[in-house]
Structure 1
Amino acid sequence: MVALAAAVPTAALLDSATATPLDPATATLLELSVELIEGLSVGLARPAYLLAFPIAALALWALVFRDASGTASEDSRRWFLAARLAVVALVVLSAAGPYTTQSKLTTGEPRVTMLVDQSDSMAVTPNVENRLAESIESAGVSVRQVPVGAADSSPVGDAVAANIRENGSLVLLSDGRVTSGQSLQQAAELARSANATVSTVSMEPRTRERYVTVEGPEKASLGVQNRFVARVDGVGGNTTATLTVSVDGEQVLERTVNDVPAPVMFNHTFESTGSHTVTAEIDVTDRFVENDVSRQTVRVVERPEILYVSPGEYPFRDYLDRLYDVETAERVPEDLSPYYAVVVQDAPADSIGNVDRLQEFVIDGGGLLVVGGTNSFESGGYQGSNLASMLPVSVGEGEPRSTNIVLSVDVSGSAQEGMRIQKATALSVLDQLGDENEVGLVGFNYQAYRVSEVEPLSQNRQELQDKIRRLRAGGATDIAAGVDGGGELLGDRVGTVILISDGHDNPEEAASVARQLSERGIQVVTVGAGETINERTLRTIAGAGGGSYFRATETTRLGILFGGTGAPGGSGLIVIDRGTFITSGVTLTADPDAFNDVSVRRGADFLVAGDTGQPALATWRYGLGRVATITAHDDDGTLGGLLREPDSLLVTRTTNYAIGDPERKATGVTGIPDTRVGEPTTVTYRGADRPDVDGIAFRRVGDETFQATVTPDSTGYFQILDATYAADYAREYAAFGPDPALESLAEDTGGREFTAGQGEQIARFATERARGIRPVRTDWTWLPLLLGLLVFTAEVSYRRLQVRRRDTTSDGGLP
């Protein structure tokens, strides 16, 4: 056995620089090879067999020289030993399995495996698989057709994964609409690991098809207006559809729709609690009727009761009163049990009242929203108070704190085309970091490499810039290695890993590593950079690591988080993290006059900032409860434009965040999310006793909390106890035409996008894939055996010739 340490890849990480693996490992190898010249190496398949030679040599020596008798001279014995040693050496070498590996141009055997999607969503496209297969075969390439899916089942990702072969070539004839199994992204990752390509053939739909969806809040407050949207979409030629919408069976809207997509918005106010139904239906002539009706349920609850505490009268109080059941007080009372959240606005710390009771209320699961102003935070004596310990911000800007940061830059082969962009992004990120930070650099492909230690940025900024510019791409991709490498470079320090990548890798392992780093106090922030970016993967990793995802164009936001200068020349508010419930899809136009003098605490979520980095909105969990602070305001006690649309959505969501589940104090069935045919949903019940429902088995999941899983087999509205849920049509009928994921699938695996008329081009691509310079291994086991036989024959023949000449005895004089 031979143990070899992991080596640095042949494609150096840096030009004229050294980058060492962060975790060099040793591996026990069963083979041994040495490269003689570029493209040619020699090796042994079973090198352990060489250990037999010294044993055999010792035995031969003993046989020839030990207790020697006979008439053979000393020289004869030496020649005999040398000849037999040569024979033994050649036999042992043959047993060790000698081989050579040489790069050669091979033609290969071009073949095409064509996966043909036969699910219903493909019924709106022409049937071209047979004609396409004939075209490919006429160009001299064999085709194997594999049917995929049927009816409302489209396990396209599973089919791709099942048919991947090493260095193979797949052609996917599908719209890419996956309804079950693994995603196309996961299948692409498997294809890349096998060096297989997946090309796609997608056709534009020719048959007319329309479908309708209805969307709105899952839960609503009694007497509060809610916004819904009924959307008619589809493919094929123009046609007229009549859209009707009913609430609890009563028609509330009728509209004629000609063009698609056609979103139709409407408002509705529910006047009773409990489950309500919203049904959208289209009257149209098209291919399928299954998707002509869409269903949604809304669970209406009593308005959550909140307590508003303030020494003054502000417009925010009236705004809250339109949405919630608001009770006003000048001070926090002893009894907070009726309330879901407490809102404190512009109140000095010594006027708030029973802060100890407020703290208990939040720890036990209540919510707290603290809104700033001229009498609060730095001007309200918050610093050092019991209230301050509950807040996600601390009073005063404070001195810029040193933060430990590692830039982990993707230098894998998948990033090669976009390496220029990734270097520019990494340099832009570095520019946003303040000098007080300590920064290191890691490059990663299939493993992470230590490029620069974590050192004060004020001393090594120029060196880091130079090393980033000299990064080179190559090797397979393992984002998990990049995340882990960043954490390893930080060591025992608390800090942040800023991952700069195109995201083309399976997110699961990287997210798991990010989650582990988060538990150690290391945040993972991701930045998307490259020609094509998989944002979903990068968002998943950032979410698991307690950080945020930023596009390459949003790196100025990192300056706000890590001691930079914000957004020079900007105005208004900046959303720092769009991946949260509060900020997702929010548009901000407000330009507040003032901000309280605060800084965001470590561990809190910094969501919105002013144009120069002042914290405007921050949140965190405190005990079982939720706490939020809004520190943007105007001198007149307003929120600086945040109470006007579209900005008011931010305030509403922040308040809802603090309230949490408006039914957490209720008993009975408190939630059944709507689902689709064939897809499970979970029923949640709160109560002292397990509910008894025929055909449904509830399991205990917490104190007085039970859950059950149900899977509808038909569309409609279904009731369990006192709650209703909707089963909408199958996912197969919810989208038609090529999925954008098809383009990523082809790009990620090195495949091509073809049309149905490009059979010859598909054959040519398959031929090019089969042909190429590949390592060809040649077994030379026979050669040492042949040479050994020749040496043995020559030695025996020589001795026999000597006997005939009477130079030696007939037996050679040997014992």
Structure 2
Amino acid sequence: MEIFNATVADQVYGSIHDRNPSAQIRAFSGDQTPIGDKIMQYARGDDHIVLVSDGNSNYGVELADAVSVVSKTNTTVYLIDQTPDHNDVSVRIIGSKNVIIGNKNTFRIVVQQAGTHAAYELAVKVDDEVIYHSRIEQFDPVKVRPISHAFSTLGTHVISASITPEGDDHFQSNNAFDKSVYVVPKPAILLISDEESNLRDTVSDLYDVTVSSSGSAGFQEKYKAVILDDRYIESISPDDLDALRGFVSDGRGLLVVGGEKSYDRGGYLDSDFEKMLPVKSYPSEYYGMNDVVIVMDISASTFSEIVVGTGVTFLDYEKALVIDILDDKDFRDDRVGVVAFGGKAYEVSGLTYLDNDAARELLKETIMSIEPKGEITTTLDQGLAMAEEMLTNSAGAKDVIIVSDGNIDAGIYESSLSVADRMNNANTKMHFIHVMSSPTDLLTKFEELAHRVDGTYQQTTYPASVAISTAQPDAAPTPTPPPEEPGTYTVSVFTRKHFITEHLDLSATITGYNDVTSKLGAKRLVVTGEGKPIVCAWRYGLGRVVAWSTDNGGAWSSALYIGNNSQLISSVVNWVIGDPRSEEGVVIEADDVFLGDVCDITITSDTIPNMVFGGDTLDISRIAENTYKTSIDLDEEGVYYLSDYGIAVNYPIEYLDVGMNPDAEKVIQLHGGRVYNESETGMLLSDVKRRSVRTAYEPVSQKTPFILAALALFLIEVIARRVREITRRKGG
């Protein structure tokens, strides 16, 4: 935070305190930034928290988790987006700790800057030998440079990256980074295959492979993983299956490669063997080319009648329009989700495949049951942010349909534009439906927003229907149109947040695949353009299983085994293997740490290990069979050795992420907050004031006046009768 103006927090606090004397300021500093913890600590419910911070929470509860939790107690979190007074540049190295000898490994040198331009020299060394040196100009906040290297000797090696900035660089401590790497022998793998193939050639180059035509070689403990290449179910005997189940359950890996004799073509469906796999061997539903999210406005302004005297409200009309969209046959090949927003946004329904009649009818019933929240504020930005979140992992085209009466509150427009612009840049097509009592030629904020993000806009009045097209525009004509190739399928990464696909650069087509469906709990990692699973993974017992539902490269998928695409199969096998080291003797596992963090160490040994570090015997505790734990506290940067196992200690984690957290705005907007810059304190105060006034609609009983009136009439009648009776008696 020292790169920002230190007086901003006091200025913001002073402005808030002038209008709200009960406002309090809380400050913290040090080599760690536990923003999530602090939000949880100070949130009281029905209040507001203003963060004057870079938004980089590096210790304790994640920022997103904390903001989500406190939002459920009506605590709104805001962030002041600051421009740094100084630039700062940091460097780090990302890659595997345990690597295999002779295999080319890719490490990523990540350079971050707080400003908008930095020039520096980057040098990368392996054991003091320079393997890369270049002058770099950087205009993006983050630049990642992949560096490949193959180690030729076993044991610990150290990769070092250093930058020498030419201009403003506030901290020098984060200009160098060390990564310890432990090189191990090639792990043993059993490949069960009947033929030569690209798969066989690739894994034989990378690992110590034993090739067998059946499981008769035995699933011995020396093997880290087994690869089954296009096997009929009949080729797996009951004894082999039992042995394989035990092999994987004990912590080893299994990769099942498809082809003409496996999965849907090999009798796997409902077999005992299929129970181990992350897929079922029947065709997956076709999810079309579109994922669509409908965003509905249910704020207080939608309570009123759209046409006076009809009894039909704006919300009633919105529901009818959405139901009409769901019944449109053009959407049958799409997945559709629904979000509603009033004072806050919430998910009405996740993405649902509309060609499923039961699911579609259930979704329609859910929409008809939506009740207005009675909140005055129209939080369009929150609705858009939630739609953006729902579409994060969409493999096909993305569409968002916003149905609203068009009333955008002051202060909401800019934040709505920010989210919508971000979605537009991510190739999300946006459709704005303006529900109105009568058409107008005036340019509304709602229409202006649509034009600003290249969205479609249409007005509609009760009881007319609307027409929405989610068809993708035709490709631009080329001088010589390429001939269509029947039976080719583009494959792409579906889920990025996984070891296998995190840094994968995949660009390939295949000509065939096994039509399977991923199971609940499985990770769908690579898919075709139609969403068909190609690589799925899950855990089985202590082990790992991957379904590779195309072939070994012999007929369908040769492109997956060449060039950069071959990284996919090596990443898959590496994940299936897990720890490539031998389980014999004493095995040490410890991550590199940042200065100030405790280094936790796990030791696997058949006997109680005796570990000495710095001349002192470490206190070791047993946490499981043959597994022990200890820790060391390292107070200086450098590379330390426990036996022959290296542990690097780098600068404090506080200096890793520099500049404003690019994800903070999305997190805060998603849960009802806003992000303002230093000059927008007045808008922040207005927003806080508006949100402090909460309007709730509660049923009020009207029985009492009628009961009292009835009682009064009853008493009057009783008194009248009594008077008449007394009068009669006197007259008599």
Does TM, scored on the shorter chain, surpass 0.5?
A: yes
| Structure 1 pair 410–696 and aligned structure 2 pair: CA distance change class (3 A) | farther
- Match of 1:670, SS state, is strand
Tell me the equivalent position of 2:609: 691
Counterpart Cα distance in 2 of 1:208 and 1:448: 40
| Structure 1 pair 457–329 and aligned structure 2 pair: CA distance change class (3 A) | closer
Instruction: Give 1:736's match in structure 2, choosing from 647, 658, 661.
Output: 658
| Structure 1 pair 606–167 and aligned structure 2 pair: CA distance change class (3 A) | closer
- For 1:127, the aligned partner's letter is T
Q: Structure 1, residues 180-208: CA drift from partner, whole Å, max 9, x if none?
A: 34444455346545544444333201213
Q: Structure 1, residues 614-669: CA drift from partner, whole Å, max 9, x if none?
A: 55334444454433332323894453422134432332222223323222624323
Tell me the equivalent position of 1:533: 386
The answer to whether the 8 A contact 2:489-2:512 is kept is: no
Q: Structure 1, residues 434-487: CA drift from partner, whole Å, max 9, x if none?
A: 99xxx9x9999999999xxxxx964784574265266244289xxxxxxxxxxx
Aligned residues: 569
- For 2:190, the aligned partner's letter is L
Aligned-residue CA RMSD in angstroms? Answer: 5.0
Instruction: Give 1:682's match in structure 2, choosing from 590, 595, 600.
Output: 600
| Structure 1 pair 554–324 and aligned structure 2 pair: CA distance change class (3 A) | farther
Instruction: Give 2:230's match in structure 1, choosing from 333, 336, 346.
Output: 346
Counterpart Cα distance in 2 of 1:155 and 1:691: 35
| Structure 1 pair 413–381 and aligned structure 2 pair: CA distance change class (3 A) | same
Counterpart Cα distance in 2 of 1:466 and 1:169: 36
Q: Displacement of 1:552 after TM fit?
A: 10
Instruction: Give 1:269's match in structure 2, choosing from 125, 150, 160.
Output: 150
Q: Displacement of 1:715 after TM fit?
A: 2.0
Q: Does 1:203 align with 2:82?
A: yes
The answer to whether the 8 A contact 1:124-1:208 is kept is: no
- Match of 2:583, SS state, is coil
Q: Does 1:127 align with 2:7?
A: yes
Counterpart Cα distance in 1 of 2:285 and 2:556: 29
- For 1:342, the aligned partner's letter is V
The answer to whether the 8 A contact 1:716-1:728 is kept is: yes
Counterpart Cα distance in 1 of 2:271 and 2:669: 57
Counterpart Cα distance in 2 of 1:177 and 1:735: 7
- For 2:258, the aligned partner's letter is G
- Match of 1:735, SS state, is coil
- For 1:343, the aligned partner's letter is I
The answer to whether the 8 A contact 1:677-1:713 is kept is: yes
| Structure 1 pair 409–725 and aligned structure 2 pair: CA distance change class (3 A) | farther
- For 1:293, the aligned partner's letter is A
Tell me the equivalent position of 1:672: 590
> Which region of structure 1 is more displaced relative to structure 2, 177-186 or 720-729?
177-186
Q: How does 1:299-338 map to 2 (within 5 A)?
A: 299-337=182-220, 338=222
**Structure ID, larger Rg:** 1
Q: Does 1:255 align with 2:154?
A: no
Tell me the equivalent position of 2:248: 362
Q: How does 1:340-489 map to 2 (within 5 A)?
A: 340-348=224-232, 355-356=240-241, 357-377=243-263, 390-393=276-279, 458=357, 461-462=360-361, 464-465=363-364, 467-468=366-367, 471-474=370-373
Q: Displacement of 1:608 after TM fit?
A: 4.1
The answer to whether the 8 A contact 2:252-2:544 is kept is: yes
Counterpart Cα distance in 1 of 2:187 and 2:609: 26
The runs of 5 or more residues in structure 1 that have no matched partner are 1-120, 401-406, 451-455, 477-501, 505-528, 540-547, 557-566, 776-815
Instruction: Give 2:637's match in structure 1, choosing from 712, 715, 722.
Output: 715
Counterpart Cα distance in 2 of 1:344 and 1:746: 47
Counterpart Cα distance in 1 of 2:230 and 2:688: 70
Tell me the equivalent position of 1:12: none
Tell me the equivalent position of 1:654: 572
- For 2:53, the aligned partner's letter is S
Tell me the equivalent position of 2:628: 706
- For 1:234, the aligned partner's letter is Q
| Structure 1 pair 203–617 and aligned structure 2 pair: CA distance change class (3 A) | closer
Counterpart Cα distance in 2 of 1:372 and 1:654: 14
Counterpart Cα distance in 1 of 2:673 and 2:12: 17
Q: How does 1:14-53 map to 2 (within 5 A)?
A: none
Counterpart Cα distance in 1 of 2:104 and 2:538: 29
| Structure 1 pair 473–553 and aligned structure 2 pair: CA distance change class (3 A) | farther
The answer to whether the 8 A contact 2:512-2:557 is kept is: no
Q: Does 1:593 align with 2:511?
A: yes
- Match of 2:636, SS state, is coil
Q: Structure 1, residues 371-407: CA drift from partner, whole Å, max 9, x if none?
A: 222344566566798756654555565999xxxxxx9
The answer to whether the 8 A contact 1:590-1:647 is kept is: yes
The answer to whether the 8 A contact 1:309-1:352 is kept is: no
- For 1:678, the aligned partner's letter is G
Equivalent pairs: percent with the same residue?
26
| Structure 1 pair 534–460 and aligned structure 2 pair: CA distance change class (3 A) | closer
Q: Displacement of 1:330 after TM fit?
A: 2.6
| Structure 1 pair 126–606 and aligned structure 2 pair: CA distance change class (3 A) | closer
The runs of 5 or more residues in structure 2 that have no matched partner are 287-292, 303-314, 350-354, 401-470, 473-485, 698-732
Counterpart Cα distance in 2 of 1:134 and 1:386: 68
Q: Structure 1, residues 547-566: CA drift from partner, whole Å, max 9, x if none?
A: x966996699xxxxxxxxxx
What is the TM-score of this pair, normalised by structure 1?
A: 0.58
Counterpart Cα distance in 1 of 2:69 and 2:244: 53
| Structure 1 pair 429–704 and aligned structure 2 pair: CA distance change class (3 A) | farther
Q: Structure 1, residues 356-384: CA drift from partner, whole Å, max 9, x if none?
A: 54454334443332322234456656679
Q: Displacement of 1:696 after TM fit?
A: 3.1
Counterpart Cα distance in 1 of 2:329 and 2:490: 23
The answer to whether the 8 A contact 1:718-1:724 is kept is: yes
- For 1:724, the aligned partner's letter is G
Instruction: Give 1:617's match in structure 2, choosing from 532, 535, 540.
Output: 535
| Structure 1 pair 184–364 and aligned structure 2 pair: CA distance change class (3 A) | closer
The answer to whether the 8 A contact 1:618-1:628 is kept is: yes
Counterpart Cα distance in 2 of 1:640 and 1:703: 44
The answer to whether the 8 A contact 1:549-1:579 is kept is: no
Tell me the equivalent position of 2:178: 295
Counterpart Cα distance in 2 of 1:280 and 1:250: 11
The answer to whether the 8 A contact 1:136-1:760 is kept is: no
Counterpart Cα distance in 1 of 2:670 and 2:279: 43
The answer to whether the 8 A contact 1:696-1:708 is kept is: yes
| Structure 1 pair 143–380 and aligned structure 2 pair: CA distance change class (3 A) | closer
The answer to whether the 8 A contact 2:346-2:386 is kept is: no
The answer to whether the 8 A contact 2:539-2:545 is kept is: yes
The answer to whether the 8 A contact 2:606-2:626 is kept is: yes
- For 1:661, the aligned partner's letter is D
The answer to whether the 8 A contact 1:600-1:615 is kept is: yes
The answer to whether the 8 A contact 2:125-2:161 is kept is: yes
Counterpart Cα distance in 2 of 1:236 and 1:282: 16
